[in-house]
Amino acid sequence: MSQEILQVGRLSPAGEADIQAAFKVSLLSEQADPETFLVSEGHRFHGLITIAPIGASKTLLSKLPNLKVIACRGIGVEKIDLDIARDRGISVSSTPDVLTDCVADLAVGLIIDTVRKISAADRFARSGKWRGGPFPLATRVSGKKLGILGMGKIGSAIAQRALGFQMEIRYHNRRPLSDCPYPYESSAMSLARWADFLMVAVSGGPHSRHLVNRDVLAALGPHGYLFNISRGLVIDEDALLESLQQKIIAGAGLDVFTDEPSIPSGFMECDQVVITPHIGSGTHETRLAMERLLLDNLLSFFSTGRLLTPVLESH
């Protein structure tokens, strides 16, 4: 197709090759002076490819006056200025569903690693400390109470996996789901108070900012564990670090942070915390599927005017 596309944020080599075979793509990161390039050449672009951690700011969009569509690799679009997009009639797509299984797999992996202390045990064995005595006992995973904060598609996939560990499941959403088989808790606080493990799987955005605060962490308690595979801003990080340092909760498994890739140094010093660098969708198979869906959205938009997986669609 003849439409020109601006790309911010790198994709996989295979994904980029497929997109470049279909469109004329300019990579912002390859420009000698990106700001000067945007000022002089921004008018050329009708499409924007981005990734969830970067999004599309008001400043960037202001330099793309003829933009018609934003295609985002990822399901989090809180870093895309949707108000500007809506006002200017810019359509926006994301890549839902294709990453559900891998994110849910990682969520369960974080539970097992954190609660059974696998990473800590690995460090213990590698350091030679085993010669001085056995590794301390950990906590059982099977049969525990799992509270899922956000019973969307990813939350549901996590629940399905947790059933294999004979876990009891409850959830909290902004409203109960009529077709959900699990009991509903009326607040994040009551869910935390009930749960052994609290899994954060809500969507990011202003509605969920600091949904997990000091009170929720206190309700989770000294034998409870927190896990986050959604967005860093959902948790009050200062409160979480304080809760870990003061043993208000037992531990945490965290794939996301507020100011990625920066991680507050205090978390590094907490041996009861497992940290991963936002790798929920980070498998070859899933990233390729996400990028294929991103491309299919662009192809559909420029041929029919419609997106396959719209977040915001202008007619």
pLDDT in tens, the chain (315 residues): 679 999 999 999 999 999 999 999 999 999 999 999 999 999 999 999 999 989 999 999 999 999 999 999 999 899 999 999 999 999 999 999 999 999 999 999 999 999 999 999 999 999 999 999 999 999 999 999 999 999 999 999 999 999 999 999 999 999 999 999 999 999 999 999 999 999 999 988 888 999 999 999 999 999 999 999 999 999 999 999 999 999 999 999 999 999 999 999 999 999 999 999 999 999 999 999 999 999 999 999 999 999 999 999 986
Say how far apart CA 256 and CA 166 lie, in whole Å. 27
pLDDT value at position 30?
A: 95
Dihedrals phi, psi of 149, to nearest 5 degrees: -95, 95
220: tokens are 């989770």
Superfamily of domain 4-96+284-312: NAD(P)-binding Rossmann-like Domain (3.40.50.720)
* Cβ atoms within 10 Å of 247's Cβ, excluding its own: 10
CA 154-157-158 angle, to 5 degrees, is 90
All CATH 3.40.50.720 domain ranges in the chain, comma separated: 4-96+284-312, 100-275
pLDDT value at position 314?
A: 81
pTM for this structure?
Answer: 0.93
Mind spelling out the 3-state secondary structure of the chain?
Answer: CCCEEEECCCCCHHHHHHHHHHCEEEEHHHCCCHHHHHHHHHHHCCEEEEECCCCECHHHHHCCCCCCEEEEECCCCCCECHHHHHHHCCEEECCCCCCHHHHHHHHHHHHHHHHHCHHHHHHHHHCCHHHHCCCCCCCCCCCCEEEEECCCHHHHHHHHHHHCCCCEEEEECCCCCCCCCCCECCCHHHHHHHCCEEEECCCCCHHHCCCECHHHHHHHCCCCEEEECCCHHHECHHHHHHHHHCCCCCEEEECCCCCCCCCCHHHHCCCCEEECCCCCCCCHHHHHHHHHHHHHHHHHHHHHCCCCCEEECCC
51: tokens are 């990734």
Say how far apart CA 300 and CA 315 lie, in whole Å. 14
Contact partners, residue 4, CB within 8 Å, separation at least 6: 23, 24, 25, 26, 44, 45, 46, 47
Active site residues: 231, 260, 278
CB-CB contact of 52 with 290 (8 Å): no
Q: What class, spelled out in words, does domain 100-275 have in CATH?
A: alpha beta
293: tokens are 């869906």
CB-CB contact of 280 with 254 (8 Å): no
pLDDT value at position 243?
A: 98
Please report, for residues 44, 237, 270, the alpha-carbon distance to residue 264 in angstroms, rounded to integers and kept in the order given.
40, 8, 11
Please report, for residues 57, 195, 208, 211, 244, the alpha-carbon distance to residue 218 in angstroms, rounded to integers and kept in the order given.
36, 12, 18, 13, 11
